[in-house]
Structure 1
């Protein structure tokens, strides 16, 4: 790679915004991501049942896996231990900030948002693209479905880029964040895109993404580096598909491979349900202030509805960033004061339109993550909480519409009604008066 492109693996290849469109482009923007691209105390955050997490295993417990690219190091640090909601207890407000194609490049946005997360007590999910741990010289090792070996619609990396990305992944996990996957080649559209892949082709893509993580030391010749501190076969439990395409067959493959959630669809801000055993934690429709429609809760979709390009009118950059921030905060407020449905937000480490969307996300984190009863968590942590709840309670939460708070308050809404004693006569309806 050139010096300019060396630490920008995504920019090293295609730079277009031509990705698959959703059926309602104005409502949701184009499909969720492009695959290319030209700061306080935590505050009081109570809520349902988070106990102190067990301490991480001592360093002596480290057990290298395979070539030493990964290792078992004990329980992940800084994880909540959830409890069931008590009868009548209001659920916490969950917010998930997530990043597609997470890698550290010359913008240093991965390392920056790790600091932002620590500043505001936010855990996040980083969806790693496997080819970011595969050097350009070894690109032929990637055999993508329906494409020739070595083909990718995003860039491979160089050795220094792999070293930097691994450093950030290691630190993120040790700080309690999640490492998911954004797969590998980021193929979109009808010509061999992920939306055309079979279940078996998805399994191949997943296994290759795992392999690049589990063998980065050998592939990059970095035997002296520290391992990633997790067993990726166990760590990897969720994903977001490129351009939000191919979800149907991906979920089938993921269910067979032990995944726990997917975040590749389009939802309203309501409580989630399971699909083939996976929690559907899809992207959500959120307000676009000043406009008569909603869009997906992702930086790219705001961009599509604002400039349609990564290099829009500089005089509009501040306005566009403010519009995204205000839309996300409005979405937060209608859940926080309404049905308390988790808010799902997706992003890219990109400086589109002068970096205005990165500023918008940082402002949103600073605004929402410090509020009472708010928990900014990873997808895995949210899935843990959902699995800890009474399924009947989650089903009842799903009856609340977008922004709808229980009419009689949370205590009445989530307090079970006592059953009538056995043999008790049924209530008699009073006779109508004439």
Structure 2
């Protein structure tokens, strides 16, 4: 029996997403995994980071977006394929490569997920503020209670798959509308996207934040872990795994470009977006009061989905495939409670938290990704005898080297950002 066969998650049979499930059910499982990854990335941090750096860097920010999308595709293609073919979670693979390494990785991802989740809860507060004018701290606390209620419900897993798909479609529709009405300077953005002369310390911080916010920390594994927990795994599913991994990044890439263009159009028009809740102010400047309220609804929903995604994936790193659903859900609830309390105690500006969270998770990315590349290159036994494509390993190694370089260059600016130095 292969490792993949012996490690079927206990939740797979209950959810009915294994090889014996209907094609429709399997498509729903893959779509849910794809959008869990995408909506985990397209959360409050995604919107806040993109807005912050577009305002700071203008059209030059297009270079960071292009480089980050290339890195993201290379990373996710490898992450989904290794985890999907092996049928094992990232920390389980790491422990088989080197005993104890998986728990180190789990600790890093768990802490990174907590940092990001504090930012996600802060994002729900921003969303309710834009939607209803509610105080951000109170809005964050209320949203955390809603997330807890979702995980205490019996149908949390099935509802998650459907909710993330719906919210992803809503966000794309909103971005298309605002990107059109803001009339951005598309030509200038295209030119700046290949202008390597723009690389400086601010650009490296932007790169680290984008990569960390899209495929760093827990987000790296959100879709892949959800996929194998749904029973979709093994060599027989390689084509579906590959398509879903690429599609998840294309969705996030499309959203990043649309949001960038929407904010850039507002910035280029000379509008003053202030210093707080800049993304909301940009949507209001582009689409009026209706735009502000719609932004609030989608931003809050995206933040809530990211709270769910961060909590689900972070807890998946401290549990095993034999952990009962009830225990996993209770641990997830506890995780949300701790993050909410830290958010209320820290009282850090939500924008600062969200930008810092992305950069912090970029520091974690090289560690876990290196483990998966080792499995791909040297541990064919963990992949059920599957011959891993050499070209994909090469692409992965290049992306890993670039992620290390970006993380090192961004470390100083990231510390200064959070400490105010």
Higher percent of residues as strand: 1
Q: Work out whether the TM-score is over 0.5.
A: no
- Greater relative CO, 1 or 2 (CA 8 Å, sep 6+): 2
| Higher Rg of the two aligned structures | 1
TM-score (norm. length: structure 2)? 0.22
